[in-house]
Structure 1
Amino acid sequence: MAPFILVSYSAHAQNEATAPIEAIDGDLSRQHTAEPPPEPSRNGSFPVQDNAPDNGVPSRPEITPATSAIPDKGTFQESDLIGPAEGIFGKGAQGLGKLIEDILKKQGRPNGYIVGREGGGAFMLGLRYGSGTLNHRIEGNKPVYWTGPSIGVDAGANGGSTLILVYNLHDTQDLYERFPAAEGIAYIGGGFNASYLRRGNVLLIPIRVGAGLRLGANVGYMRFSKKQRWLPF
């Protein structure tokens, strides 16, 4: 009986000893078969896993940053031009606002303008002298002078204020050149006119309000400079 009891006890002890080992092996097996953790993306962030049940509630939409339109700060608007125009022409210059509005509709917004005064006279051959301030959206304010000869069926003298709209002047150094000009003039006591001058991509639109007695048409050029010049050529 003693050997039988010893053998039975040994078998029972062996079964109890192997039971915890089998439980541990089962736990390790379950851990080994579990899903691996997500790998980070290239930028180092982990993807978001949404394991929420489909209960009919829509998921939260992605929020994208709002973008606002950046205003064009490189040009002058109509409101920027009316004030300087009224300052040199006076509020009594009828049709000035409408003229500026029409020019902006056709040509767009200028990136500069000149305000100043000029005077001239002609008898077949004409001369023009002017001075003012160039207001440039990028490079700021600079003094500017201009002269110009002309020839045509033109006689009389006039003087007054000038507003010159400046387009496509990305470097103010490009202003100090000769700009071909052609215009018709009619001042009988007072007058109001606009003309177009172009050199390359730079476009100038002088708007003049003056007083005097002058009638005719001419061709010539306007030469702009940094310093005042007495020779008109």
Structure 2
Amino acid sequence: MSDVIIVIGASGGIGQELVHQLSERYPDNIIYALSRKSQTASFSDNVRCMNIRTDDEKAIHEFCKSLDASDQKVRLAISTVGILHGEVDGLQIAPEKRLEDLSNGQLLRYFHVNSVVPALWLKHLVDRMSDQPSQIVCFSARVGSISDNRLGGWYGYRASKAALNMLLKTAAVEYGRRAKSTTLLSYHPGTVDTGLSEPFQRNVKPEKLFTPEFIVSQLLALLPELRADQSPYFLDWEHEVVTW
């Protein structure tokens, strides 16, 4: 039996950097780089790039069954899946500034990508986690903090990230019974210089606009500090607690 690492959403700026740093940090582990888009980046020999529908439960189930067939357990799974703006399946998404901007279609899309998809991975990974200290990380956002919301706006993004946080917090109770060595982490990376944040970087101070390299290194440095008996965590790139 061998332990593997999974990056869900590996084709984006953060996802690719995760794969690079993980493959260097864990050269003896297979890294599964999963994404909906074909990947053109060059990775180390221990990386297995797979083009799968990371948002489709049947595809998630089939991938996880393949782990069983290979007698593999998961040491670390990181989901970078998320949407803030752009075109998704023909629907143009943009953060709402006022109530009149709300729409059924956009809200459903926010929740599907930002909340439902990570929850499906939590569902299928619970019986496939390593008995050794292991982690599942979902990229969240400080704007998903209910207690920290003072500015309003961004209804769908905020609510879907808050839902993700609640799903993680609830799943942690069950993981505590079924996967006792696994820690769940909701991770706020700050504003990262990727396509996700590009339209909103204008008002960000230069010292608060982070590179994917920095954010990934901060996350990987954090993981050894986590304890399963204190799961779940909601932490930022400085390893500081974010209130739920």
Q: TM-score range by the shorter chain?
A: under 0.3
More helix by share: 2
| Greater strand content | 1
* Larger Rg, first or second structure (1 or 2): 1
TM-score scaled by structure 1? Answer: 0.23
In the superposition, the TM-score normalised over structure 2's length comes to 0.22
Say which structure, 1 or 2, has more relative contact order (CA 8 Å, 6+ apart). 2
